[in-house]
Structure 1
Amino acid sequence: MESKSITREVQRVRYELKFRDVKVAAVRATGANMLSVTFHGDALEDFTSLSFDDHVKFVFPDASGASVRRDYTPIGHDAQRKELVLEFALHAEGAATDWARQAQVGMDAVIAGPRGSMVVPLDYDWHLLAGDLSSLPAITRRLQELPAGAKVLAVIEASDGDIREFDTKADLDVKWVKSGEELVAALRALALPAGEGYVWAAGEAVVMKAVRAVLADDKQHPREAMRVSAYWKRGASDFHEKLD
Structure 2
Amino acid sequence: MTASLPHSKADEADSPSRVRRVRHEIKKRELSVVAAESITPNMRRITLAGDSLEDFISASFDDHIKLFFPGEGEAPAMRDYTPRAFSNAERRLVIEFAQHGDGPAASWSAAAQPGDTLTIGGPRGSFIIPTDYDWHLLAGDETALPAIARRLEELPAGTRAIVLLQVAPADRRPLASQADVMLHWVDSDAALLDAARALTLPAGEGYAWCAGEAQTMAAMRQILVEEKGHDRHAIRAAAYWKRGTAHHHENLG
TM-score, scaled to structure 2: 0.92
Given candidates 105, 110, 119, the residue that maps to 1:96 is 105
Does residue 230 of structure 1 match 2:208?
no
2:120 aligns to what? Answer: 111
1:204 aligns to what? Answer: 213
CA contact 1:155–1:177 (8 Å) conserved in 2: yes
Distance 1:71 1:8 in 2: 26
Does residue 243 of structure 1 match 2:245?
no
Q: Secondary structure at the match of 2:114?
A: coil
Given candidates 31, 41, 57, the residue that maps to 1:48 is 57
Unpaired runs of at least 5, structure 2: 1-14
Q: CA deviation at 1:215?
A: 0.9
Distance 1:112 1:219 in 2: 38
Given candidates 123, 148, 157, the residue that maps to 1:148 is 157
For the structure 1 residues 239 and 163, does the alpha-carbon distance in structure 2 shift closer, same or farther, using more than 3 Å as the test? same
Distance 1:231 1:44 in 2: 25
Distance 1:235 1:26 in 2: 32
2:45 aligns to what? Answer: 36
CA contact 2:217–2:237 (8 Å) conserved in 1: yes
CA contact 1:131–1:157 (8 Å) conserved in 2: yes
Deviations 1:132-157 (CA, angstroms, capped at 9, x unpaired): 00000000000000001110000000
Given candidates 63, 69, 72, the residue that maps to 1:60 is 69
CA contact 1:44–1:82 (8 Å) conserved in 2: yes
Does residue 137 of structure 1 match 2:137?
no
1:9 aligns to what? Answer: 18
1:157 aligns to what? Answer: 166
Matches within 5 A, 1:76-91: 76-91=85-100
Does residue 171 of structure 1 match 2:180?
yes
For the structure 1 residues 64 and 102, does the alpha-carbon distance in structure 2 shift closer, same or farther, using more than 3 Å as the test? farther
Distance 1:211 1:193 in 2: 17
For the structure 1 residues 20 and 93, does the alpha-carbon distance in structure 2 shift closer, same or farther, using more than 3 Å as the test? same
1:3 aligns to what? Answer: none
Q: CA deviation at 1:92?
A: 2.5
Q: CA deviation at 1:62?
A: 3.3
One-letter amino acid of the structure 2 residue matched with residue 100 of structure 1: S
One-letter amino acid of the structure 1 residue matched with residue 174 of structure 2: E
CA contact 1:8–1:121 (8 Å) conserved in 2: no
Deviations 1:73-93 (CA, angstroms, capped at 9, x unpaired): 001011111000011011132
Distance 1:60 1:107 in 2: 11
Deviations 1:21-63 (CA, angstroms, capped at 9, x unpaired): 1011101112121111000011111000110000000112136
Superposition misfits of 4+ residues, deviation over 2 angstroms? 62-66
2:5 aligns to what? Answer: none
2:8 aligns to what? Answer: none
| Paired residues, number | 239
Q: CA deviation at 1:222?
A: 1.1
Given candidates 215, 218, 223, the residue that maps to 2:224 is 215
Distance 1:7 1:114 in 2: 25
Deviations 1:175-202 (CA, angstroms, capped at 9, x unpaired): 0000011000100111000000000000
Measured on the aligned residues, the alpha-carbon RMSD in Å equals 1.3
CA contact 1:21–1:108 (8 Å) conserved in 2: yes
